[in-house]
Amino acid sequence: MYGFSRISLSRKGFDSSKEGGGGYSPFNPATGKYIVLPIPETENVGIKNRLGYEEIKIKPGYLNGINASNMKELICHKNIRLPEAVKRKISDKAHRKVDYAHFDPWLGHCCWLEKESAHSIGAFGQEGAAQGHLKNPLGLGEEKGVKKGSLFLFFSRFVAIKNYSKDKEDKIKLSKRLLEDGAYFLYGWLIVTRIADCYGKIHNEEIEKNHPHVHYWGKPKHKNNTIYISEQGSFKLNNLTIPKFGYFPELSEDLLLTSKEHYKTPSTWELPAFFYETRPTHMSDWRWCWEKGNQNCFVQAPARGQEFVFDESEEFDDWFKKKLQNSGILQKA
C-alpha cells in the first residue's frame, strides 16, 4: 500500500447553508472546467488575512461565456446559478453582509486563477467540532486520527453554468435536474507533511501572511484551530509520482460521486463496493445499500458533514490511482 496513515473525504467550497455561501460552485459540462467558490467570511478577520472576493483574480473567459476578471464579478454574473440574494450580499456595498472570502484549501497551481492569486504551497485549515473529529474520529482515539502522511480528498457540489455553448456532446453527461440542482465531484487532494496546531508551528511566511485560519488562534469561538500543511514535492506511488497536493484539471464523470440513478437526490453517491467495508465516519449502517457480488454500492451522504475519515486499503489505492491516471496527473518516476 502507499502508506497513507489515514484518509479523509473533505467537503470544501460553497454549499447551500447560509454560512457556506447559499449555493454551489459552477462548472461547464461541455468542457469539464470548473471553479471552486470560497465560502464567505463574515467576521472581522485579522489585517493580514482579509481577502475580498474582488481581490481573487481569475482568468477572464475561463468558463465559456463568462468574462469575469475576479471572483466577485464571477459570482454576480448572470450565467452563474446562484440565488439573487446571495449575489446581492457580495455585490451590493450598501447592504453587503459578506466582506471577505475564506480561501481554503490551498492546493497549489490552479487553472482558473491568475498567478497573483494562486498559492505555491498546500495548506488546509479546520477548527471546531470538525477538527475534533479529524483528531479523534468518533472517540476512537488519536491514533485513529488524521496525522502526518494522511490524505485529504476534497469534494464539493457543482452546478452547470447557464447558456454554455458546445461543439459536440457534453464531456459530463448528467440529467437536466442534476445539471441545474448540482452534483458532487472530487476536485483536489493534499498529502499532509506537517500539522500546525498553533502559530509557532507554521514556519511558512506565505501561510502566516495569507491563510484565513491564522487569525483564529486565541479566539474562544474557534476551538481546535489547526492548519494541515503539504510541502512542495512529489509522492511516490510504486513506480509513479504525483504532486503532494493539487487540483484535478477538469471535472469528469470519473470524479463524480453523485449517483446518476438517483438524480432527485444529489447526496446519494455511487461508490466502489470496498467503501461499504471501510465505512467512512459519519456514514452509519442505515445510509448504505449494497448487494453481495455487486461492484458498486450506494450511500446517502450526510447533509452537513465536513470530514469523513477512513483507513487505507489496497482497493482504495487502486481507485485513487485510476482517478489520477484518468486525469493525466501521474508521471513515471
**Which of 305, 315, 307 lies closest to 145, judged by CA?**
307
Residue 45's CB: how many other CB atoms inside 10 A?
18
Q: What is the C-alpha separation between 208 and 199, in angstroms, rounded?
A: 8
Cβ(223)–Cβ(127) under 8 Å?
yes
pLDDT tens digit at each of 333 positions of the chain: 788 999 999 999 999 988 888 999 999 999 999 999 999 987 665 556 788 899 999 999 999 989 999 999 999 999 999 999 889 888 876 555 556 899 999 999 999 999 999 999 999 999 999 999 999 998 888 888 999 999 999 999 999 999 988 777 899 999 999 999 999 999 999 999 999 999 999 999 999 999 999 988 888 788 899 999 998 888 887 777 889 999 999 999 999 999 999 989 999 999 999 999 999 999 988 999 998 889 999 999 998 789 999 999 999 999 999 999 999 987 654
Bond before 105 cis per omega within 30 degrees: yes
Within a domain: residue 50? Answer: no
123: containing domain: 7-16+104-332
CA atoms within 13 A on the CB side of 332: 0
**Which of 169, 170, 227, 173 lies closest to 195, judged by CA?**
227
Within a domain: residue 227? Answer: yes
Within a domain: residue 210? Answer: yes
Within a domain: residue 41? Answer: no
**Which residues, at least 6 apart from 291, have a Cβ–Cβ distance to it below 8 Å?**
none
Backbone angles phi, psi at 58, to 5 degrees: -115, 160
Q: What is the C-alpha separation between 317 and 310, in angstroms, rounded?
A: 13
Say how many domains are in the chain.
1
Question: Which region, left, alpha or beta, applies to residue 286 given φ > 0 means left and ψ of -120 to 50 means alpha?
Answer: alpha
Within a domain: residue 265? Answer: yes
Residue 147's CB: how many other CB atoms inside 10 A?
15
pTM of the predicted model as reported, rounded to 2 decimal places: 0.95
pLDDT, residue 43, reads 65
**Which residues, at least 6 apart from 186, have a Cβ–Cβ distance to it below 8 Å?**
153, 154, 155, 248, 255, 257, 323
Within a domain: residue 45? Answer: no
Q: What is the C-alpha separation between 76 and 23, in angstroms, rounded?
A: 12
Show the cell assigned to 90.
Answer: 457580495
Within a domain: residue 32? Answer: no
Show the cell assigned to 129.
Answer: 467540532
Pairing state between β 288-289 and 245-247: unpaired
Q: What is the C-alpha separation between 232 and 57, in angstroms, rounded?
A: 23
Query: Which amino acid type is present at position 51?
Result: L
Q: What is the C-alpha separation between 83 and 226, in angstroms, rounded?
A: 32
Within a domain: residue 294? Answer: yes
